[in-house]
Chain A
Amino acid sequence: MNLDSKIPAGPLADKWNNHKAKLRLVNPANRRKYHIIVVGSGLAGSAAAASFAEMGYEVSCFCYQDSPRRAHSIAAQGGINAAKNYQNDGDSVRRLFQDTIKGGDYRAREANVYRLAQVSTNIIDQCVAQGVPFAREYGGLLANRSFGGAQVSRTFYARGQTGQQLLIGAYSALSRQIGLGTVKMYTRHEMLDLVLVGGKAKGIVTRDLVTGAIESWSSDVVVVCTGGYGNVFYLSTNAQGCNVTATFRAHRRGAGFANPCYTQIHPTCIPVHGEDQSKLTLMSESLRNDGRVWVPKNKADCAKPASEIPEDARDYFLERKYPSYGNLAPRDIASRAAKEVCDEGRGVGQMVDGKRLGVYLDFSAAIKRLGEAEVRARYGNLFDMYENITGENAYKQPMRIFPAVHYTMGGLWVDYNLQSNIPGLFVGGEANFSDHGANRLGASALMQGLADGYFVLPYTVTDYLAGEKPGSRPSVDAPEFKAVAKDVNDRVAKLLSINGTKSPRYYHKALGKITWEKCGMARDKAGLEGAIRDLQALREDFWKNVKVVGTGDALAPELERAGRVADFLDFGIMMCLDALKREESCGGHFRTEHQDAGEAKRDDAQFAHAAVWEWTGDGQLPVRHVEPLVYEETQLSTRSYK
């Protein structure tokens, strides 16, 4: 497997500019002769598709939702980071770079992260010009808030729905191009496979979710921005439709999958309430700016209402353990701390499976300090949401929160140009592995999605296209397309014909139970080995006993879910394998064997690399390759937020 990262030479700060100056161009008259397929319409996908079309390429964009505006980027609440230093608190590109690389526990590629920090400022400019209604100060200039893992205020936000506002910005740019006819938008289309011709990505096969039609699409380049794989855990904060299928299908066609074990558990979610729960709801991390996290000091107090526990019987464990960052400790650390106190039996809230899995997030101090009106102005929508779901009023009693799967740092392996090891297959946003290492800092996902879509892919894809002859893309009648379309048709037919006894959701839940128990917040060798065996058995059972109702020629949600679960089953095995082979703790990957009194213990000598998995065939375990991470300007140190 060719894992040349193509990192440009030169000092970190100059790499991107030097590289951009060397990238090849395509002359404007030739651009319309190239067809670019963009899969996914979230921040990265919409931004890339709109930018390509503005440049003059012919673009087709696909999404499974009924409108590109619904992609799951929309659900991001808290904000987007940028090194603008508007607050005059010492922020800079280098500082954002350092925070991000440290936040990622030194498992991200230095050059990529530096570039991300560099273009972060352009993103804010672009979004403001598009009309994104960021919060403002009375002087009319942009406001900022602080966020986890940083000691400066560099997060731009739009109430509690920054994701929706940024996505609407990108969606409006995309919509403009659709209106102009330069982008053809295919909604309710799911990419079910990637087509390679002569070793290069040259198209995709999709299923029209409304009519069931399996269709082939040919292009000069394929850009996949299909998000993360958090739903491998069944319960996550991801949207119901989020899936690994597009990236996993590309993986099966030869694309390396990097670091699947890096999954992020978000500390501030609403605790699980029961068996029939379909999703976990995140409360923005920004709540930790003013909320204080605590549990009772004594187990005996856990069943009591919060109001009956006196101040001196409360353990503000984040403030106690991490005095300098306090409640704003990074996500992985805050999550693990919450798990720890719950494992000690000091969790609060209702019993689920004999455990109380929840900690308090208390706003009474903030309400006293700022007044209820100000707290309402800052977090009103989140408090409302909390009350809708739990029936509890968080102005009167503390919220209960517990960590939940939220984001996945792993993804398809890409080089500095965001190109996978398959030529012509580019990957942007959460779908790639490039920028967050083993843990993502808050407000950095939106930044990365838009950075990839607006400011990286347009340059690097152009460079690739400059090497492809205009008009050379194959016809969809080529044998390669026919063969892939046949595979897809066969698979759909197989799923519909098994006619077993258990629903796709049954398997999804069973899968989630295994992955969350064994490959969730804490992992160990025995557990992971057991999980791999269990998943293999579950996969076998799935292909014998799944029951998919509905027909292939209409909207068939069960068929959609079955296909996604099938890929998640294969993927879950790879994720556990990756976790098993990474014999260290870093960021979101916590191996109980490797710790210093509860703190993650990295092994830089052996594991300062990205693990990249190669597909070897159905029923076989994937093979691990390695891309060493070379740090030219960063001193690796133990991540401390104490």
Chain B
Amino acid sequence: MALTGLILAGFVLGHMTGNLLVFKGPAALNEYAKWLHEHAGLLWVARSVLIISVFAHIWVGIQLALENRAARDGGPADDATRRASVASRTMPYSGVVILGFIVFHLLHYTFRTVALGGVTYGDDVYKMLIAGFSNKPVAAFYIISMLLLCLHLSHGVSSVFQTLGLRNERWRARLDGLALAYAWIIALGFISIPLAVLTGCLK
């Protein structure tokens, strides 16, 4: 979980940075997209790592959830929670929603089988993006998914330190804060784009 999570958490940072090029204008974003496609080898290496990571992350996640449920044996009738965060208790759920989002996202931008806003496809990612986010339900789903990603990351990133044995009581609060900050940077970075579209800052 930690290893694949670490790769995926790193990826979203890169992805977000790329996306933010949208604020530099259509040319910057499209050039970035074009650059990616021109380096197909690199792109596919990255894609392979990502695909493996995603599948491994999901597979292990499902296994963990099933094993853990069985190990709990139903749990107490009257289950109290003293410390576990909402994020930690909702990891499978936030994960499922994020997975749904990824599928939709890939269909939209990578496979381009979802038509939104009646825009002709082509390699104009910028137009695709504006058209997509002009659709309010799509933008809302995007924002909600990113907020859930934030939740998922806030627990996931701090857990990485624990799993690799790099955390202790003295550093726990700081590392949790770091994870939370990271999660919000990612989420706000992504969310800024649909918000900009919806408010008309990006056209």
Touch between A and B in complex, CB under 8 Å? no
Residues of B within 8 A of A (CB): none
